[in-house]
Amino acid sequence: MDNSTKRLNDVFFYGLYMDEEILKNKGVEPRNKRKALVHGYILRLGNMATLLRKENAVAYGMVYSLTHEEIDMLYKNSGLTQYVNEALMVELEDKSCIVALCSVLLDAPKADESNDEYYQKLVSCMKKYELEIPTKV
């Protein structure tokens, strides 16, 4: 069992970090790419994207295997310090389930927050990976 800083962790991404090219440009090596979804959550776009708990909802995304150092590069070292990691039960395309880390905002975006540019980029990303496109919330 690997207890080093190089051990890999499955991470569920639901925003633009789903795009492996963006991850590579951030200095991250996305490994073990898989389509996935989480039940009981909905994607909410404000100034930034997050997942919010919502009964009977589904949020789609991608799972990659990353090191803790790579996760920190994406969030802590990029100024996205409002995000915290949570463990979520994630359903993969083959219907198997795994536990994956997922970075979310603890506070929901305000009702009047939106980011049309981000939404358009997200739609392009979802199409690229053939994922269900979320309605704009």
Among the listed residues 36, 118, 101, 28, the one whose alpha carbon sits nearest the alpha carbon of residue 70: 28
Q: Does domain 9-128 have CATH number 3.40.50.1970?
A: no
Q: Judge contact between 89 and 99, C-beta under 8 A.
A: yes
Q: Where are the domains of the chain?
A: 9-128
- Given a cut of 50, the residues of the chain with pLDDT beneath it are none
Rounded Cα distance between 135 and 3, Å, is 40
Residue 87, number of CB atoms within 10 A of its CB = 12
Q: What pLDDT score was predicted for residue 3?
A: 72
Please tell me whether the overall predicted TM-score, pTM, comes out greater than 0.95 for this model.
no
Report pLDDT for 20. 96
Q: d(Cα 81, Cα 116) in Å, to the nearest integer?
A: 22
pLDDT at 137: 55
pLDDT value for 135:
73
